[in-house]
Structure 1
Amino acid sequence: MLIISACSSPQKEFATMLIYGGTIYTVDDNDATVEAVAVKNNSIIFTGSLDEAEKFKNDDTQLIDLKGKTMTPGLIEGHGHFMGLGYNELNLDLINTKSYQEIIDAVAKRVETAKPGEWILGRGWHQSKWDSLPTEMIKGFQTHNRLSEVSPNNPVYLSHASGHAGFANAKAMEIAGLQVLAKEGIKKYEIEGGETIVDDFGRPTGVFNERAQTLITRHIPEKTPETDIQAFDLAVKACQKNGITSFHDAGIPKETITLYEKMKLEGKMNTRIYAMLTGWDKELLNNWYEKGVSIDPDHLFTIRSVKLNCDGALGSRGAWLLEPYSDRPNHFGHETLPMEFVKETALNGLKHGFQVCAHAIGDRANREILDRYELAFKEIPEAITDHRYRIEHAQHLHPEDIPRFAELKVIPAMQAVHMSSDRPWAIERLGEKRIKEGAYMWQDLLQSGVPIVNGTDVPVEPINPIASFYASVSRKTLKGTPEGGYEPEQKMTREQALKSYTLDAAYGAFEEDIKGSITIGKLADFTIYNQDLMTVEENKILDTKVVMTVFDGEIVYTKED
């Protein structure tokens, strides 16, 4: 019997998508730029020359000709509030208001369509960014009187841009039981970790700082499942429009976890979410410590970190400082979470495999958190091989603490656009010496050997990554001032800035092996721009627009001409 055997050649792999025809920045050290990228389903199967890429093409391959445009890995929002982004689209968006009068006008317009008794909510005002200040100011803030005049029958609560303060009208304070006032009753408004701003007669002015906000917010009606879904969908669309394919969600409660699980099940999770559990809910944390981290094999919704809110913001003078505020003597800001709980959480994180991400803006808050992290690392040294603990914002540091990030392997998650927005007035809070020696110290931190995770802290700032990229490399306001930038020695290079929005941001979520660079085997998430943001003149960077977003190997956004 004659047996004939033959060796069949392995089946050739074909691409479902082939991208070419423009500058492609990979953020991969092996090939900084390539001519073409081939994708099969949701994974990258080839990067390199166009000639080689052509071999992966067949009749079913979707061809994307960049026509001279620029592509990078999909951008990663390294610190934001996903549902806050969505609800900002639903409620009053005050981010661009330039005066108290504009806030009054916005509320008055909403009153026209609101039912009597209906709450009017908004976010985004920032008194230090106004072109003009009202004549009546107490401790640097406006008072509620004029706002209350235009909204007598509707409770109003407007969150500060930072989220660390809020502004209520008379009706909202009446509902909260805070309008029967006498000087001897001031203690009624005191709350640990917060401050109710009052006038000389002991009457609340409408401004509630840090945890004092709960005096009002506990009376605001719960969100509905319908509005949650609407806000979620709006947030996804906003991410896609801005080239954001992944999002580090900085502090979510159990209700949001349930919503995200539902959205994933229904196929609506079209932005990858890396979620931090809110540290305000100890029961939630203990439940998750018991069951352990949730790393999604589909890379859509992962929970493996905890968010702690440890101080306030500079704008509301809530950031916790080592020395008093320059523009408010004897005031040091607020410790909004006991440091003993920070250490306890740091230990639990090491024991149960959770990353800890602690919010700290002031130099004292940063020092205290680094101290607690260090104590935890010394107590359980065998568990610290790859903890990747983070400090969110790390906005103002004492010079002695800058090298401690690298020494302790703590990642600073810093939003460059905050410098652009805050630096013109932050000098009033801190004074020149503290600003120059310790504020927004990007290059010093990078040179010390730690990566920086970039982002916008949306809805504190608009989600636009181009603005944060511009701030990173220019150290200027979005109006292009001052010439040369603030403290220019701390500028990032464009390569550093792009990496902070891609590979370093992925590293900050333990995901550098699956995203953050255009590398074979990684997820097919890409952002495409109308111009080359890596080479265009600095004064034209802000003209850069996202024209296409590819998520999971599919085009999910195309900018209309």
Structure 2
Amino acid sequence: MRLFHTLAGFSLALASWNLQATTLIHNFDGYQAAAQQLDKFNTLVFDQGKVLATGDYAALSQKYPQAKKIDAGGKVLLPGLIDAHGHVLGVGRLQQQLDLRDQDLPQTLQSIKEFSQNLKAGEWLIGRGWNQVLWAGKEFPTRAQLDALEIDQPIWLRRIDGHAGWANSAALKLAGITRATRAPAGGEIIRDDNGEPTGVLVDNAMALLEKIIPQPSLQEEKAALGTAFDLALSLGLTGVHDAGVPEQTLEAYRQLAAEDAIPLRVYPMISIDDKNLPKLLKAGHVGAPDERLYVRSVKVYADGALGSRGAALLQPYHDRPGEKGLLISPQGELLAQIKLATENDFQVNVHAIGDRANHIVLDILQSLNKEHDQKPFRHRIEHAQVLTLEDIERFPSLNLVASMQPVHATSDKNMAGDRLGEQRLEGAYAWRKFLSQGTRIASGSDFPVEPVNPLFGIHAAVTRRDRHGDPEKGWHVEEAMTMEEALRSFTLDAAYAGHQEQVIGSLEPGKFADFILLDRNIFTIDPQEIWKAQVLETWVEGEKVYARSE
């Protein structure tokens, strides 16, 4: 009897402790995409990292009278945002490299010169972000422009989309790239009228130079990932899909997970280019949907990017009639890659930007679907940027996710017309066409191609305008998303794209209490002001992991 009373007392104490651990946050305007409608609420209750309820304060405060109460001060509460396509290591490393985004050519050259002054002798000058489309003349840069800066270090600067790079003569010499060097399949060495390399390498040709650049150690990668995690949390991201990681980066993630050092949810895609891919696939999935690290997908590359004219098109470029872009992998190789992944039970996420690349990928997936049902995989087309109208209509039958980046449309709006002409724009950045047929859009940013801030993406999705407000009425505004659709694409449908919609993506009972507080109501303000919203707090599993300092 004494033992029974002891245990009973312990149970009562434990129950009391659990009640005390329950937290009720209230006095906010809450929104979430749940089921088929937009759910509004002003109170959230959670315990042990999981949501117990959302709803009205009067009812929930009565149901949980002993809960710890937090007054949100009238702010806005949303589920934690998920970026479905970013490059985590890339953005982490960029914090120590040269960022050239949004600069004209004179500013770019001045930034390079200034950055070089803090480098050691022989150290590579590495950076990214240049965009010749923003420059007078819109022409690719040359090594002569870098050589004129009289910088001793070898220089390698990736274009903003990551699909072209710009080198000085010192870097080309170290890589052994001369007029006699042949470009690999799926790549291009830009040459001058005399056949000499100009310093710009496109897509697969970049590997000719990048193979000689010293690569970061495992510890350096772990540190860079940590830097990226902190940045993501400060901007309201509680989940990130890392679009293409090699074995060493995967190992860095594994070690961080073992050290309990991943403060948000990461869904890395194993890069198809990894030399140990068969071994990695045979080892099976890593983690589970409810863990901070979950690996069950492969990143495949079909073509390049539109800005560098590497996107594979069915018809020639409007502004370069003799070119149709590049297939990074020929069709037979793509088929073998996708088949290898699916045979090992891995989801396939294919980078496809041009209409030719998308058409080929859809043909491959359709052929595989006849052999074995592909729909449970939830395969994804990463970018799905330019398609024929007929190919857009093929997505539902294969249960494909359109993994798209809204900010790309507002960044590319001027260049896309030059590259494609008006007729092909009908199937470009076509969010409304996908949504109207029931295709899920998983939104992301493609950082560091674009800024990490997901509110920039929500703004672009709703307005089809850039952050300067151009064009005034929106660029092809008929393809814009509603505010509810934009939120869903960065929450519940992004979670679905990572096979995690049962545990994250909304604040339904039983899911993790991942949420953010904003300083303004993005549902009620002028849509052009959405991008200015600031994240005040970020919570993961009921724990505050970021608070904005005043």
**TM-score calculated relative to the size of structure 2:** 0.94
Cα deviation, 1:305-328, whole Å, max 9, x if unaligned, reads: 010011000010000000000111
Query: Which residue of the other structure, out of 67, 73, 78, is the alignment partner of 2:73?
Result: 67
Query: Which residue of the other structure, out of 82, 103, 107, is the alignment partner of 2:108?
Result: 103
Query: How many Å separate the matches in 1 of 2:218 and 2:282?
Result: 28
Cα deviation, 1:154-182, whole Å, max 9, x if unaligned, reads: 00000011010000011101111225x4x
Query: Which residue of the other structure, out of 518, 527, 531, is the alignment partner of 1:542?
Result: 531
Q: Secondary structure at the match of 2:251?
A: helix
Letter in 2 for 1:469: I
| 2:69 counterpart of 1:77 | no
Moved more, 503-512 or 273-282: 273-282
Letter in 1 for 2:131: H
- The residue aligned with 2:357 is 365
Gaps of 5+ in 1: none
Maintained 8 Å contact 2:375/2:400:
no
Letter in 1 for 2:322: N
- The residue aligned with 1:317 is 309
Query: Which residue of the other structure, out of 296, 299, 306, is the alignment partner of 1:307?
Result: 299
By how many angstroms is 1:153 displaced? 1.1
Query: How many Å separate the matches in 2 of 1:479 and 1:21?
Result: 33
Query: Which residue of the other structure, out of 94, 98, 111, is the alignment partner of 1:92?
Result: 98
Maintained 8 Å contact 1:414/1:452:
yes
Query: Which residue of the other structure, out of 203, 216, 222, is the alignment partner of 1:223?
Result: 216
Letter in 1 for 2:402: P
Identity %: 37
Q: Map of 1:15-414 to 2, 5 A cutoff?
A: 15-29=21-35, 32-55=39-62, 62-97=68-103, 99-130=104-135, 132-133=136-137, 140-179=139-178, 181=179, 185=180, 188-281=181-274, 283-284=276-277, 286-296=278-288, 298-381=290-373, 384-414=374-404
| 2:457 counterpart of 1:464 | no
Cα deviation, 1:500-521, whole Å, max 9, x if unaligned, reads: 0000000101111000011000
Letter in 2 for 1:171: A
Q: Secondary structure at the match of 1:268?
A: coil
Query: How many Å separate the matches in 2 of 1:481 and 1:431?
Result: 20
Query: How many Å separate the matches in 2 of 1:486 and 1:346?
Result: 35
Query: How many Å separate the matches in 1 of 2:68 and 2:130?
Result: 45
By how many angstroms is 1:197 displaced? 0.3
Q: Map of 1:8-19 to 2, 5 A cutoff?
A: 11=15, 14=19, 15-19=21-25
Cα deviation, 1:113-165, whole Å, max 9, x if unaligned, reads: 212211010011111123x34xxx8xx31212121222431000000110100
Maintained 8 Å contact 1:85/1:459:
yes
- The residue aligned with 2:477 is 488
Q: Secondary structure at the match of 1:386?
A: helix
**TM-score calculated relative to the size of structure 1:** 0.92
By how many angstroms is 1:104 displaced? 1.2
By how many angstroms is 1:224 displaced? 2.5
| 2:374 counterpart of 1:422 | no
Query: How many Å separate the matches in 2 of 1:397 and 1:193?
Result: 20
Cα deviation, 1:410-439, whole Å, max 9, x if unaligned, reads: 11100000001001121000001111x111
Query: How many Å separate the matches in 2 of 1:447 and 1:271?
Result: 32
Cα deviation, 1:275-309, whole Å, max 9, x if unaligned, reads: 1110112532x123323222336511111001001
Letter in 2 for 1:17: T
Moved more, 218-227 or 37-46: 218-227
Number of residue-to-residue matches in the alignment? 539
| 2:550 counterpart of 1:558 | no
Gaps of 5+ in 2: none
Q: Secondary structure at the match of 1:172?
A: helix
By how many angstroms is 1:58 displaced? 6.9
Maintained 8 Å contact 1:18/1:36:
yes
Query: How many Å separate the matches in 2 of 1:494 and 1:104?
Result: 40
Letter in 2 for 1:324: P
- Report the RMSD for the aligned CA atoms in angstroms: 2.1
Letter in 2 for 1:101: P
Query: How many Å separate the matches in 2 of 1:329 and 1:174?
Result: 32
Change (3 A) 1:396 1:299: same
Maintained 8 Å contact 1:19/1:64:
yes
Query: How many Å separate the matches in 2 of 1:122 and 1:249?
Result: 20
